[in-house]
Amino acid sequence: MAIISRSDRRERQSPASHVFGPAQETKGDLVVAQSLSNHENAKHVLEAKGLGIYYGDFRAVADVNIPIKRHKITAIIGPSGCGKSTLLRAFNRMNELVPGTNIEGEVLFDGENLYDSVVDPVEVRYRIGMVFQKPNPFPKSIYENIAWGARIHGFKGKMDDLVESCLRQAALWDEVKDKLNQSGLALSGGQQQRLCIARTLAVQPEVILMDEPASALDPIATLKIEELMQELKKNYTIVIVTHNMQQAARVSDYTAMMMLTDREAHSGTVIEFDETTRIFTNPKDKRTEDYVTGRFG
Amino acid sequence: MKEKLATPNYNVNIRGRNRSGSIWRLVFQASTILGIIALAALLLNVMNSAFGYVALEARVHPDTLAVDGIALEDQNKEQLITVLQAKISSGAYNKLEKDQPFAKRSTANIRQVILERVLKYDVKQSWSLWESITRAAEIKREAAEKYPGAILKFNSWLSSDFVARPQSSVALSTGVRTAILGSLWTILFTLLLAFPLGVGAAIYLEEYAADNRLNRMIQTNINNLAGVPSIVYGILGLAIFVRALEPLTSGSVFGVVDPTTANGRTVLAAGLTLGLLVLPIIIINAQEAIRAVPQSLRQASYGIGATKWQTVWSHVLPNALPGILTGTILAISRAIGETAPLVVVGASTAISFDPSSPFSKFTTLPIQIYQWTSRPQDEFRSLAAAAILVLLIILLSLNASAVLLRNRFSRRY
C-alpha cells in the first residue's frame, strides 16, 4: 500500500507526535518509532526526481532533482516567475486544484511516489501541510481556526489542549489566549500568518511547505516567523519559498536555486542545490553567484 | 497654488476632467431620481384607486329596517334575526340556518348577512382618492343629485376585512384571503423545489464539474433558461405537472382525494411550475455567490487535508450563503408576482374556499388582480388596487425576512 493507514502512521512516529508525545501511549511503539526515525533520518523525506510541471501545454518547471532532508529547512530561491511556488505546490499536490495541471517524473515521500495512482491527494495534504503567501485564516474564531483541521481528521483528544499547544508552538498563545473566540481575521497580518502556521500544526503534518510566508509582513513580524521556523524545525521538516535572499541565508539549511533555463519555453528549473552556506559563499554556478550577490535578477 | 510650468506634449487640463466628471455625476443622479419618481408614481396611482368616496345605494333603505324605532346598527341579535326572517324567503333562511345555526352566529355575522342579503348595497359610483380630496364638496352635491337614495361615504378598499374575507362576487364583501393563502402555498412549494435543487446544481457546476464542452453547454443553457418567457414555463408546467404527473399533483397517488380538485390543477402543480421558472435564477445567483468565495479560503482548507466536500460544506457554503439568499429573495419576488404561467397551469378565477393542502385548487394574488382589472365596473378596479397593495406588502415583508435571515448568516467572524 502506498502511503499510510492510520495505524502505520503511529508506528512510523511522525516527527510532530514528538510534541504530543505524552498523549501517545505505549512505550514500545515509541522505541520502534525512534529506531525507524533514526533510520529514516539518513534518507530524504521528500525527493523530486525528474520532476516537470505543466500548465496545459506550458512546461512551467522542468527536470527538477532535489532532496528535502528531514528536520531541516530547505529554501527555494530564484527570480520571479521561475516556478518556485509551482515546485513547492508539487510537493503536496496543491497544483492539482488548478485544472489542466500535469506533472512528469515523480516526487518521493519516504520513498513512495506521491503521484502514484493509489495515493489520495487528501492524505498527501494531510501529511504535508502548507502555509500560504497571504495569511488566509478561516473567517471563524481563532479557536475554531485550529480546531477545525483537527476535527476533520477525527481528533479525539482534548481540543482545548490541542489548541493551546498549537498556538504555543506558533508563538501566538500569549497574544491571543484571552480572545480565542474572536475572529481570526481581527488579528494583525503577522499574527494571522502565525495562526495559519498553528492551524497547520494542528493536523500534525510531517512536512510544512511555506510559500513566501513573510512576504506580506513587516520586518518585526518576519523576524517572529523566522524564529518560529527555527523552533519548528526540531519537529518538522520545512520547505520555504522566498524572494528574500537574506531570509533564505538566515533561516535555511539547504537552498535550491531556481532559474529560467530555457528562454524560449520559459521553463524554470533548479540550477543548483546545496547547503545554504555554500550557495551563498561558494556557489558552483555562475548564475547563482550573480543572483545571490545581487548582480542579476 | 503656483501654476506649474507647461510640459510639452501634456494637456493636463484638470479643470476639464473635473467638469466632465461632474456632468456624469449629474447624469447618474438624474437616472436615480427618475427611477424614484417612477416608483412613486406607481405607488400613488395604486393608492389613488384604492381609496376614495363611493356612492352606495341599498336595495332596501336601511331606515325601513328599524324595529320599534331602533336603527339597524343598534339592534341586538334577536331583533336582527327577526329583521332577516321578515326580509328573505323562508327557503333562503333555512339554507342559512343549515350552513350555520343562527343561534351560534355572532351579532356581527348576522349584521353582515343582512348587509349582503337584504340591504344589498350597490356601488353606484366611486371616485379616486385625488378627486375625493380635491373635489369633496362637488362630489357630495353630485351624488345627492344623481343618487338621491344613496349614501356617500369615504371607503378604504384596503381594510383588515378585505384581507380576512374570502373571495366573493359582491364587490363590497369580497376579500383576498383565498388568494393570499394560495400565493403563500404556491411560494412554499416553489422554494421547496427550487432552493435545494438550485443550490445543489450551483455547487456541482462551480465546485465539481470539469470545464468541458458538455458542462459549458449546460451552463449556457441555464443562462438562457433564465430568459425564457414565463408563459413557456406555464405550458411546460401544464404538460408535465398538470397532465403527465396528474396522479402526483392531484394527490391520488397518496390516496388523497380532494373532491374539489380539478385534474391536477393544484397548488402543488403551480408551485412546481414556478419552481422551474425560478430555478435558473437561483442557480445563477448561487453560482455567483460561490464563485465570490476567495480561492485562498479553499486552498487553506485543502492545505490542511480537507476533502472537497468538507471544504465546500464548512467554508464555501457558509461564505456563499448571503449571496445565495440574495438570489433566493430575487427568485421569491419573481415567483410571487407571476401570473401568466399560473393562468396556463389552471389557477381558478372564482374560488371561495381556502387552499387546505398541496392538492387544493387555488388562486393567487396576481391572478385575482388580473381578474378584477378585467371587470368593467369601477369598484373592481379599486379592489384590484387594494389587492396590489396587499401583494406589495406581502412581497416586501417576505423580502424583509429574507434580508434579516441573510444578515444573520453573513455575521462574519
Residue A9 pLDDT exceeds 80: no
Average pLDDT over residues B156-178: 85
Element (H, E) at B231: helix B230-237
Domain's final residue, options B163, B191, B216: B163
Residue B59 pLDDT exceeds 50: yes
Average pLDDT over residues B360-384: 89
Chain A residue numbers with beta carbons less than 8 Å from the beta carbon of B301 are: 138
Is B211 found in the same domain as B75?
Answer: no
- The mean pLDDT of chain A is 83
Residue B71 pLDDT exceeds 80: no
In angstroms, what CA-CA distances link B413 with A24, A139, A166? 34, 5, 21
Domain that holds residue B355: 177-409
Counting beta carbons within 10 angstroms of the beta carbon of residue A40, is it exposed (0 to 12), middle (13 to 18) or buried (19 or more)? middle
Residue B125 pLDDT exceeds 90: no
Chain A: closest CA distance from residue B202 (Å):
18
CATH number assigned to the domain covering A3-292? 3.40.50.300
In chain B, the number of structural domains is: 3
Each domain of chain A, given as residue ranges in start order, spans: 3-292
Contact B305 A122 (CB under 8 A): yes
Chain A residue numbers with beta carbons less than 8 Å from the beta carbon of B294 are: 136
Which chain A residue's Cα is nearest to B315? A138
pTM of this structure: 0.81
Q: Name the residue among A129, A134, A140 with its Cβ closest to that of B304.
A: A129
Residue A281 pLDDT exceeds 70: yes
Average pLDDT over residues A68-91: 91
CA atoms within a 13 Å half-sphere pointing along the CA-CB vector of B342: 33
Q: What pLDDT score does B118 carry?
A: 79
Chain B: closest CA distance from residue A71 (Å):
20
Chain A contact present for B303, CB below 8 A: yes
Which chain B residue's Cα is nearest to A122? B305
Chain A: closest CA distance from residue B297 (Å):
6
Best A123, A125, A143 member to test B by mutation, with max B CBs in 10 Å, is A125
Chain B contact present for A94, CB below 8 A: yes
- The mean pLDDT of chain B is 87
Q: Are A225 and A213 in contact (CB under 8 A)?
A: yes
Q: Distance between alpha carbon B262 and the CA centroid of its chain, in Å?
A: 24
Amino acid at A57: D
Higher pLDDT, A42 or B109: B109
Does the residue B172 lie in any domain?
Answer: no
Element (H, E) at B326: helix B317-336
Which chain B residue's Cα is nearest to A180? B413
Q: What pLDDT score does B261 carry?
A: 58
Is B93 found in the same domain as B206?
Answer: no
Contact B304 A200 (CB under 8 A): yes
Backbone angles phi, psi at A206, to 5 degrees: -95, -30
Pairing of strands A237-241, A101-109: unpaired
Residue A262 pLDDT exceeds 80: no
pLDDT in tens, A95-105: 888 888 999 99
Contact A94 B310 (CB under 8 A): no
Q: What pLDDT score does B88 carry?
A: 80
Q: Are B350 and B169 in contact (CB under 8 A)?
A: yes
Chain A contact present for B314, CB below 8 A: yes
Q: How confident is the model at residue B170 (pLDDT cuts 50, 70, 90)?
A: confident
ipTM of the complex as predicted: 0.82
- Which residue, chain included where needed, has cell 406581502? B394
Average pLDDT over residues B53-68: 79
Average pLDDT over residues B154-158: 88
- Give CA–CA dist A269/A65, Å, rounded: 9
Task: Report the range of poorest mean pLDDT among A17-31, A147-161, B89-103, B296-310.
Answer: A17-31
Chain A residue numbers with beta carbons less than 8 Å from the beta carbon of B319 are: 139
Is B80 found in the same domain as B34?
Answer: no
Contact A136 B299 (CB under 8 A): yes
Contact B305 A127 (CB under 8 A): yes
Chain A: closest CA distance from residue B294 (Å):
10
Question: B40: which residues sit within 8 A by CB, 6+ positions away?
Answer: none
Does the residue B95 lie in any domain?
Answer: yes
Best B302, B412, B413 member to test A by mutation, with max A CBs in 10 Å, is B413
Average pLDDT over residues B149-176: 85
C-alpha cell read off for B184: 403563500
Does the residue B323 lie in any domain?
Answer: yes
Chain A contact present for B212, CB below 8 A: no
Is B114 found in the same domain as B58?
Answer: yes
Residue A267 pLDDT exceeds 50: yes
Q: Quote the Cα angle for B161-B163-B168, to 5°.
A: 80
Q: How confident is the model at residue B57 (pLDDT cuts 50, 70, 90)?
A: confident
Q: What pLDDT score does B174 carry?
A: 86
For position B211, which CATH number holds?
1.10.3720.10
Residue B44 pLDDT exceeds 60: yes
Question: A105: which residues sit within 8 A by CB, 6+ positions away?
Answer: A48, A49, A50, A51, A52, A63, A64
Task: Report the range of poorest mean pLDDT among A269-273, B104-108, B145-149.
Answer: B104-108
Chain B contact present for A153, CB below 8 A: yes
Q: How confident is the model at residue B197 (pLDDT cuts 50, 70, 90)?
A: very high
Q: How confident is the model at residue A25 (pLDDT cuts 50, 70, 90)?
A: very low
pLDDT in tens, A208-222: 999 998 888 888 888
Does the residue B216 lie in any domain?
Answer: yes
Asked whether the CA dihedral A218, A220, A221, A225 is positive or negative, the reply is positive
Nearest Cα to A181, choosing from A156, A160, A152, A205? Answer: A160
Q: How confident is the model at residue A33 (pLDDT cuts 50, 70, 90)?
A: very low
Contact A199 B299 (CB under 8 A): no
Task: Number of A to B CB contacts under 8 A, please give it.
Answer: 76
Three-class DSSP labels, chain A = CCCCCHHHHHHHCCHHHHCCHHHCCCHHHHHHHHHHHHHHHCCEEEEEEEEEEEECCEEEEEEEEEEEECCCEEEEECCCCCCHHHHHHHCCCHHHHCCCEEEEEEEEECCEECCCCCCCHHHHHHHEEEECCCCCCCCCEHHHHHHHHHHHCCCCCCHHHHHHHHHHHCCCHHHHCCCCCCEHHHCCHHHHHHHHHHHHHCCCCCEEEEECCCCCCCHHHHHHHHHHHHHHCCCCEEEEECCCHHHHHHHCCEEEEEEEEECCCCEEEEEEEEEHHHHHHCCCCHHHHHHHCCCCC
Is B93 found in the same domain as B7?
Answer: no
Is B393 found in the same domain as B262?
Answer: yes
Interface of B with A in 20-39 (CB under 8 A): none
Chain A residue numbers with beta carbons less than 8 Å from the beta carbon of B211 are: 99
Is B196 found in the same domain as B123?
Answer: no
Contact A136 B314 (CB under 8 A): no
Domain's final residue, options B163, B189, B209: B163
Nearest Cα to A295, choosing from A233, A245, A229, A227? Answer: A245
Does the residue B169 lie in any domain?
Answer: no
Q: What pLDDT score does A296 carry?
A: 63
Does the residue B13 lie in any domain?
Answer: yes
Is B20 found in the same domain as B90?
Answer: no
Nearest Cα to B215, choosing from B230, B205, B200? Answer: B205
Domain's final residue, options B123, B140, B163: B163
Neighbours of B136 (CB within 10 A): 14
Residue B66 pLDDT exceeds 50: yes
Q: What pLDDT score does B270 carry?
A: 92
Is B150 found in the same domain as B246?
Answer: no
Q: How confident is the model at residue A263 (pLDDT cuts 50, 70, 90)?
A: low
DSSP H helical ranges for B58-135: 77-87, 90-99, 107-114, 129-134
Q: What pLDDT score does B260 carry?
A: 62
Average pLDDT over residues B77-101: 81
Residue B20 pLDDT exceeds 90: yes
Higher pLDDT, B147 or B36: B36
Is B135 found in the same domain as B218?
Answer: no
pLDDT in tens, A36-72: 444 444 568 899 999 999 998 888 898 899 999 999 9
Amino acid at A266: H
Residue B95 pLDDT exceeds 70: yes
Chain A contact present for B299, CB below 8 A: yes
C-alpha cell read off for B392: 406589495
Q: Name the residue among B299, B304, B307 with its Cβ closest to that of A149.
A: B304
Q: What pLDDT score does B259 carry?
A: 63
Is B270 found in the same domain as B397?
Answer: yes
Higher pLDDT, B413 or B36: B36
Does the residue B15 lie in any domain?
Answer: yes
Which chain B residue's Cα is nearest to A92? B303
% of residues, chain A, pLDDT over 90: 49
Residue A195 pLDDT exceeds 70: yes
Interface of A with B in 186-225 (CB under 8 A): 186, 196, 199-200, 202-203, 205
Is B110 found in the same domain as B14?
Answer: no
Chain B residue numbers with beta carbons less than 8 Å from the beta carbon of A141 are: 413
Q: Are A256 and A77 in contact (CB under 8 A)?
A: yes
Q: How many residues does chain B have?
A: 413
